[in-house]
Structure 1
Amino acid sequence: MRVYRHVFSAVFAASSFLAVPYVAGAATDKAEPATIAANKAMLGKLNFADRQDFEDATRGLIATLETPIIRDAEDKAIWDQTKYDFLKGEAPDTANPSLWRQGQLNTINGLFEVTEGIYQIRGFDLSNMTLVRGDTGWIIIDPLLTEETARAGLKLANEHLGELPVVALIYTHSHVDHFGGALGVVDPETAGNVKVIAPEGFKEHAVAENVMAGSVMTRRASYMFGNGLEKGPKGQIGTGLGQTTSAGTVTYLPPTEFVVETGTELVVDGVPIVFQMANGSEAPSEFMFYFPKHKALCLSEVTSHVMHNLYTLRGAKVRNALDWSKYINESIQLFGGDVEVAFASHHWPTWGNEGVEDFLKGQRDVYRFIHDETLRMANQGYTAREIANLIKLPDGLAQRFATRGYYGSLKHNAEAVYNFYLGWFDGNPAKLDRLAPAQSSARYVEFMGGADAVLDKAKLAFDKGEFRWVAEVVNHVVFAEPENKAARELQAAALTQLGYVAESGPWRNFYLTAAKELREGIKPIHGPKAGPHVVSAMSLEMFFDYLGVRLNPEKAKGLEARINFNFSDIEERYALELKNGVLNHTAGVTLDDANVSFTMTRGALNALALKQKTFFELVRTDEMAYEGNPLAFGAIMSMMDEYDPLFPIVSP
């Protein structure tokens, strides 16, 4: 069995979950009167006296770390729950009290009993790790994001439940926070003895989701998770789905078995499990599963105690709200009559058959409502932006904490449904060929009488609490005159106030991160600890696709090349053709008139791409052989763009 460490490298676009910088410093702005009023009004909209979630989040607590700080091999803190101690108090004027409440729940951490034989580690990372006691060892579901947090969680469980070997891993879906800690719970030397079960398509999607657009996703994720913000009442208070992401080492252990259809039954170390496929819901590769002996249902991330993202602000393919809703409805039909406890990859479980059914129906209905209501209004001629401003949840959903927009939001999810069916264009031809932001902003500002006139009017709007409008109009001044300090400061002030009232963790983090960068500029980002840049988990198809994305057509203008690759160890062939500024590749083909033909191992290609070995070193060590002119491939590689991970977002 192959074991890969640090699968997602900077070169090949780490999953955006890995963009977890921590930069000290936060805005010192006070909450404006309109912000204070909005946050106080929220207290009257929801039943904050309802403490059921707090009872469930603490139920079954066995133990936690004496000090909830997890360190790496160099003694650096890669997870520190103590930074969220400020959440123990009442919500301040600078935070939406609903999001504050969610943050308090997410700080509850430790080892918990879900039901006899099933346990969870919660609050040690963005996600949960679940341990199921088998006949001979632990079956671990979702070993967190990084190996350090996963190792600490397993250690805590073994100390209090009795030490057992890990005999199986189950990856619920293809997002990195659910498999990145695999080598924290499995020894690479004995990994071949561990069964690794995943849903159909996992291997491809686990690596591929963020590869093609990895650079921009990673940059935007630094906004979404807000890890460049100071943690505190005026900064980052969580993400809604969890507090933040750990900053340790991401690993990967390949699956040994895939589940492809609903109804599949497996017995894993004596434990019967019934699977339900949910591909294309919260992740492109995902399943849920039921433990008949325990009457326990693992809901993966198809449900959690939030309204999730139909479109994630870091950037990803829009998810299918209708299918998502139907998967949950199918779970009710398949397992609803028997289940006594439901747990998931985030947050706390729900107990009791009636409670589980009620929770599932709420989750089902929120995605179905967003889908149906968006299309109802779209068919009446409303645009995505109009729908986002008109749509409102029915009271039965709006009053449920578990369907509030702590991670996703009703507004951007409605726009996601519109985009899923109708795309970005709303039918108005005035928007077909719009000017670039810097060009249009300069003209807007000129039409409005110049920057000073715009700012004078915007300041009046700010004083009235019209922060959304201020952010929209002053954005034009920032893009027309990027060095205008007054504009940047007013824009930052408006975004700060919008962050303070946001109920969605990602919205708050986007607003406050943007404000910070407008004031302080873009700071270097330091993600998790990176080791050798291994790309072995990428298929050759994906590898060559990514080369095509990186090719700069201006550099390749007028050039042609034809290259053969023969991978001797895996018996695969690829032909590359450069023409018209496009790099095409074809599997299973050998070109007769190639400029050069290479014979190599897949490992040699990885070493060359990651600059671990030079071309001549590979030839000298007989890891590569060629016929023809090898400079043809060197020329293509010289035409590849290198992405700047710190490009501007809130300025041109």
Structure 2
Amino acid sequence: MTIKDAKGNVVWDLEQYKKYIGLDKTAPDTVNPSLWRNAQLSLLNGLFKVTDRIYQVRGYDLSNISFVQGDTGWIVFDPLISPETARAGLELINRQLGRRPVVAVVYSHSHVDHYGGVRGIVDAAEVAAGKVQILAPEHFTEHAVSENVIAGNAMARRAVYMYGALLPRNARGGVNGGLGMTTSTGLAGLILPTREIRKTGEEVTIDGVRMVFQMTPGTEAPAEMNTWFPQFKALWMAENATNTMHNILTLRGAQVRDALKWAGYLNETIETWGGDVEVKFQSHHWPRWGNANVVDYFKKQRDLYKYTHDQSVRLMNQGYTGEEISEMIKLPAELDNFWPNRGYYGTLRHNSRAVYQRYMGWYNGNPSNLNNLPPEMVGPKYVEFMGGEAALLKKARASFDKGEYRWVAEVLKHAVFANPKNAEARELLADTLEQLGYQAESGPWRSVYLQGAYELRNGVPSAGGTQTATPDTIRAMSPAMLFDYLAVRLNAGKAAGKKYAINIDFPDLQQAYTLSVENAVLNHTRKQWPQADVSLSMDKATLNAIQLKETSLEKAVADGKLKITGNAAVFEDFMASLDSFDFWFNIVTP
């Protein structure tokens, strides 16, 4: 269970967890016992039979890879994050059950742990030749690309905190990600779907396997779908119903999800297949069997999200803010004591704040918070008001000794932002975050606290993050999406006072665009201007290669792949005005 890439780099290592987590070991003092139990079960890895002709390989990545046996080959659901881990899963099932070709792949939704490993199990040429079908929900490509590129740098940096990928593997470090152990680190790929599913009830038969789809956009992902297998009375729930409370707003950052819509789709699932289903399985954790057992589970998951929505909004309409609601809201015992509803991934505290944010935004209505000071400015003021650094630290240590860790974290963040060189403040804050992490039932909460403690003690890492704007993702972007990405990279200071237009022709796409820079803003249009400062002609692949630094402007021109007419200096100036994002920005320090 140590999986490496072609260069020998480890992309997945379950063995490091097995050294200290086992089914026979009790939870150490540094791990919440409930999270420890979740980690024990998540550590169980291998090939599992769900029901006749349906199998899963679990423990090979954050997510599961699922295999449905057709008449001649495998239909694969959600091929993990990395090609290496997906390939290892396919090799395992072929060794155990006999080698079969992959005849189809189904992406359940637009998050990278459900499609990134596809190149490890199928060849793009086979897809292009029609030998392998790839199915996905409508708008899959748009959302898969936009989430990983437009805000991808900031999300990926925060994902380092959320998933604990860089934490040491021991009882004081990384234990579990809530949905699985952690994320693999191979280079995620993407092969575009050959067919998009557009409506609930749409039916597809591949290799003798009937599949009926339920569209669930706006739930766990902007583009997502469940799948019913009438032959097997089995229901694939994508990531809409796992064995944990999920996120209404993920801690790495994303668009706020719709808890009310999520509950509504689960209710539709019950009403549509509740009378027939005998097994449900999904892209994380383990299945559930038996009609009554499955339906009871669906009801409790449905009501988990409905309760979170309804009670958060009830308190919101009574004038309470998101912070206040998170302190007040409690699940009823029948939901709270249902183990698959526990907060191993999402939590009631941050989900209730997410519901508030969806309706009310960042501003809580208090004028003091309308234009409040940022941490770098407020920190010195807090330290001064508390009598200086020495007095603040003395008071903070007394509160630490009382176990008032949330309060100590609140106080010491100001001390660190006021003087990040104060080693005593950094160390005490790190100790405090550790204690909060050790208590956390949520895997991501634990990881966030412990990664913060790590960076306070050791500084910001320089390697190990997950690349989101991968080559496959860049290539999958339409010209319009790529130009939107360039627009958020435009440095306004460098573009201020400039005004120019660039015509771009893509002969391979038979598409033409004009990019215009004016008022320090980049706009693009398909209505190409007759007069532009410079005109370019190239295939989309050439622009991709320039973006990915696989070639330079000069080489593309020399190779005849890029033709420039007009003032070439304008295009060079435009490219020089684009920022490259630094992945390792500071989070717990200024």
**TM norm structure 2:** 0.97
Q: Comparing 608-617 with 359-368, which one deviates more in the overlay? A: 608-617
Indicate yes or no: 2:202 matched with 1:296.
Answer: no
Indicate yes or no: 2:182 matched with 1:248.
Answer: no
Q: Provide the residue aligned with 2:206 in structure 1.
A: 268
- In 2, Cα distance between equivalents of 1:309 and 1:102: 17
Equivalent of residue 483 in structure 2, options 507, 527, 544 = 544
1:210-225 to 2 correspondences below 5 Å: 210-225=148-163
Indicate yes or no: 2:564 matched with 1:631.
Answer: no
Deviation string, structure 1 residues 235-270 (Cα, Å, up to 9, x no partner): 110111000111223221110001010010111111
Q: Provide the residue aligned with 1:646 in structure 2.
A: 584
Q: Deviation of residue 574 (structure 1)?
A: 1.1
Q: Provide the residue aligned with 1:43 in structure 2.
A: none
Equivalent of residue 17 in structure 2, options 84, 100, 103 = 84
Indicate yes or no: 2:287 matched with 1:349.
Answer: yes
SS at match of 1:421: helix
Equivalent of residue 356 in structure 2, options 413, 418, 421 = 418
Q: Provide the residue aligned with 1:35 in structure 2.
A: none
Where relative contact order (Cα < 8 A, 6+ residues apart) is larger, the structure is 1
Q: 1:620 to 1:579 in 2, by over 3 A?
A: same
- In 1, Cα distance between equivalents of 2:146 and 2:575: 21
**Preserved contact between residue 248 and residue 529 of structure 1 (Cα < 8 Å):** no
1:236-385 to 2 correspondences below 5 Å: 236-385=174-323
- In 1, Cα distance between equivalents of 2:450 and 2:339: 24
Q: Deviation of residue 279 (structure 1)?
A: 0.7
SS at match of 2:475: coil
**Preserved contact between residue 275 and residue 288 of structure 1 (Cα < 8 Å):** yes
Equivalent of residue 123 in structure 2, options 187, 196, 203 = 187
Deviation string, structure 1 residues 599-629 (Cα, Å, up to 9, x no partner): 2111111122222222232223322222211
**Preserved contact between residue 442 and residue 479 of structure 1 (Cα < 8 Å):** yes
SS at match of 1:208: helix
Find runs of 4+ consecutive structure 1 residues off by over 3 angstroms. Answer: 527-534
- In 1, Cα distance between equivalents of 2:453 and 2:466: 24
- In 1, Cα distance between equivalents of 2:312 and 2:468: 42
Equivalent of residue 87 in structure 2, options 142, 151, 162 = 151
Deviation string, structure 1 residues 175-217 (Cα, Å, up to 9, x no partner): 1111111111113442331010000001111111131111111
Q: Provide the residue aligned with 1:162 in structure 2.
A: 98
SS at match of 1:210: helix
Deviation string, structure 1 residues 68-101 (Cα, Å, up to 9, x no partner): 2222223333222111121211001111001111
Deviation string, structure 1 residues 115-142 (Cα, Å, up to 9, x no partner): 0110000111100111111111111111
RMSD: 1.4
Q: Deviation of residue 306 (structure 1)?
A: 0.4
Q: Provide the residue aligned with 1:234 in structure 2.
A: 172
Q: Provide the residue aligned with 1:206 in structure 2.
A: 144
Which amino acid counterpart does residue 559 of structure 1 have in structure 2?
A: K
Q: Provide the residue aligned with 1:580 in structure 2.
A: 519
Indicate yes or no: 2:26 matched with 1:93.
Answer: no
- In 2, Cα distance between equivalents of 1:244 and 1:530: 16
Deviation string, structure 1 residues 278-324 (Cα, Å, up to 9, x no partner): 01100111000100000000000001000000000001110000000
Q: Provide the residue aligned with 1:34 in structure 2.
A: none
Q: Deviation of residue 530 (structure 1)?
A: 10
Equivalent of residue 103 in structure 1, options 31, 39, 51 = 39
Q: Provide the residue aligned with 1:64 in structure 2.
A: none
Indicate yes or no: 2:73 matched with 1:134.
Answer: no
**Preserved contact between residue 148 and residue 468 of structure 2 (Cα < 8 Å):** no
**Preserved contact between residue 304 and residue 347 of structure 1 (Cα < 8 Å):** yes
**Preserved contact between residue 138 and residue 197 of structure 2 (Cα < 8 Å):** yes
- In 1, Cα distance between equivalents of 2:375 and 2:110: 35
1:494-509 to 2 correspondences below 5 Å: 494-509=432-447
Which amino acid counterpart does residue 214 of structure 1 have in structure 2?
A: G
**Preserved contact between residue 379 and residue 417 of structure 2 (Cα < 8 Å):** yes
**Preserved contact between residue 169 and residue 197 of structure 1 (Cα < 8 Å):** yes
Q: Comparing 608-617 with 411-420, which one deviates more in the overlay? A: 608-617
The number of aligned residues is: 584
Equivalent of residue 474 in structure 1, options 389, 395, 412 = 412
SS at match of 2:148: coil
Q: Provide the residue aligned with 1:589 in structure 2.
A: 527
Which amino acid counterpart does residue 253 of structure 1 have in structure 2?
A: I
Deviation string, structure 1 residues 400-429 (Cα, Å, up to 9, x no partner): 110011001111000000000110111111
**Preserved contact between residue 295 and residue 338 of structure 1 (Cα < 8 Å):** yes
- In 2, Cα distance between equivalents of 1:251 and 1:201: 18
Indicate yes or no: 2:496 matched with 1:557.
Answer: yes
1:34-53 to 2 correspondences below 5 Å: none
Q: Deviation of residue 531 (structure 1)?
A: 12
1:420-435 to 2 correspondences below 5 Å: 420-435=358-373
Indicate yes or no: 2:448 matched with 1:514.
Answer: no
Q: Provide the residue aligned with 1:31 in structure 2.
A: none
Q: Deviation of residue 630 (structure 1)?
A: 1.5
Which amino acid counterpart does residue 97 of structure 1 have in structure 2?
A: P
- In 2, Cα distance between equivalents of 1:438 and 1:636: 33
**Preserved contact between residue 607 and residue 613 of structure 1 (Cα < 8 Å):** yes
Q: 1:532 to 1:482 in 2, by over 3 A?
A: closer
Q: Deviation of residue 276 (structure 1)?
A: 0.3
Deviation string, structure 1 residues 498-529 (Cα, Å, up to 9, x no partner): 00000110000000010011011112122469
